[in-house]
A and B are shown apart, each in its own frame.
Chain A
């Protein structure tokens, strides 16, 4: 379908046409321009591969990639696809090896993705073998550039500026607030295949308007509410965003009238489920950060998690959660993080609302790609604001998206 048929209503970002969530050609262009393009994609934590020879397999967009630490401690990344016949070279999610050997014809690669071995390259008993002009160096696996900040590893197939410039001042500040140089401890993973377009996940985390309404649990316990002091901040490009807020109390106010689901009478039978303690120097108790193209950094009270978005096709993405704490957490803090994790994950008392509503959104959108959604809350602009009743960060995301996608 030529772009002229992809009509963007109003010509701005106050309307989002539904074909961006359903069209396979748009999805293919997203993979090429957004995930294989010039952005830093999150790929893992250094704590996941501490030793020489350690590797992990993850995805950027719909592409399987290997992140490997060589014998000198350097991190490398390459496409997990044998140069010979396209077979996935690496099958285990984590491991340790000197060489990555394709299971099919045993072509082997080092930690930098360089082709090191081809069995029978000179034939057998003078028969067969590769032509004389075959050069192993012509068949290295496509490489990724890697950068790492305070133990968080990003990779790109394209050309991205230094990470600090990429994030911009406010996003860098809040990134460094969680990743402050302390050694990280991985607490575990949760994975879910959400039957919706990947952008709906970003929109959800960039949209504080829904949090006071959809998330009855958050509202009821005062964890995130429209009447609390809050900020929405973007980087200059609009690609990345921050929702920042401060915990309140469980009570009604003149502003909770519209929150029809507030359950004032729901008190916890075991209060240990929600026993947050202050652990950062500022007064923010929730910071939800979205980093283009595939990462959500979540700090909700004492649950810290990275949510990696891995698109599978226009109508589904994997949400891959990595929960973490710090090596210097005491047992009480670790238990607190594990208890509060009840709110998040594939069975989250709060995040479950989001995965369910994203499916309902995709269900509604799919049958009518020519229609469009409305993003007018808080006005038409894409500027930072100090309240939650806005969709500015979603508009900013689409401003950047339209530029990158040339749509």
Chain B
């Protein structure tokens, strides 16, 4: 049974999610792994897989190293059209599990803009997260499950969600 969040903790979480969105939308992408603990678990799961207990994720990282490899590949090896992304993260809610960790759920949507096209919804869904306070007093994601409702992906998910 988790305890409710107080106003200060809520504000701290809002800051964490705002920073998460900024790093993915405006960069630097190399700061993204630092928002996670090491080891960690980052999964991007189609909702039907999640609901049916199927483990296949379209992105799976189990450490800051794997997150960093995803960043390097996104920047240097994946051929993709240039695009802008914009995260909207809302309805951040959750509870305190123990003196170090919180279970947090948030809704998200990501708009994608290709240079020659109108904006579109790239992905919409939920974050099912475990957030942990480190020895440096900073909150980081120990687990982040990105469960996307938009199971038919418009072409390619290039950047992390």
A-B complex is real: yes
CB distance B80 to A356 under 8 Å? yes
- In the complex, which residue of chain A has the Cβ closest to the Cβ of B56? A188
**Is B73 in contact with chain A by the CB < 8 A criterion?**
yes
Known: A192-B156, A217-B73. A270 touches B65 (CB 8 A): yes
Q: Which of A195, A263, A355 contacts B77 (CB 8 A)?
A: A263
**Is B89 in contact with chain A by the CB < 8 A criterion?**
no
**Is A345 in contact with chain B by the CB < 8 A criterion?**
yes
**Is A1 in contact with chain B by the CB < 8 A criterion?**
no
| Binary contact readout A180-216 vs B (1 if CB under 8 angstroms, 0 otherwise) | 0000001111111111000000000000000000101
CB distance B77 to A189 under 8 Å? no
Give the interface residue-count category, chain B. Answer: 35 or more
Contacts of B157 in A (CB 8 A): 346-347, 352
B-contacting 9-mer, from A4-12, A290-298, A335-343: A335-343
- In the complex, which residue of chain B has the Cβ closest to the Cβ of A261? B77
Contacts of B78 in A (CB 8 A): 216-217, 349, 352-353, 356
Closest Cβ of chain A: how far from B122's Cβ, in Å?
11
Closest Cβ of chain A: how far from B118's Cβ, in Å?
13
- In the complex, which residue of chain A has the Cβ closest to the Cβ of B80? A356
Contacts of B66 in A (CB 8 A): 269-270, 272-273
Bound-state Cα–Cα, A93 to B78, Å:
32
Within 8 A of B (CB), among A211-248: 214, 216-217, 220
CB distance A220 to B77 under 8 Å? yes
**Is A160 in contact with chain B by the CB < 8 A criterion?**
no
Closest Cβ of chain B: how far from A318's Cβ, in Å?
7
Bound-state Cα–Cα, A349 to B73, Å:
7
CB distance A195 to B63 under 8 Å? no
CB distance A352 to B68 under 8 Å? no
Closest Cβ of chain B: how far from A365's Cβ, in Å?
16
CB distance B72 to A266 under 8 Å? yes
Give 14 new A-B contacts, CB below 8 A, not counting A188-B54, A339-B62.
A187-B55, A190-B46, A193-B152, A195-B155, A214-B79, A216-B79, A263-B76, A318-B152, A342-B60, A347-B153, A349-B70, A349-B73, A349-B78, A356-B78
20 contacts between A and B (CB under 8 A): A93-B48, A187-B56, A188-B56, A190-B153, A191-B153, A192-B152, A192-B156, A195-B155, A266-B77, A269-B64, A272-B66, A318-B152, A338-B60, A341-B56, A342-B61, A347-B156, A348-B58, A352-B158, A356-B81, A356-B158
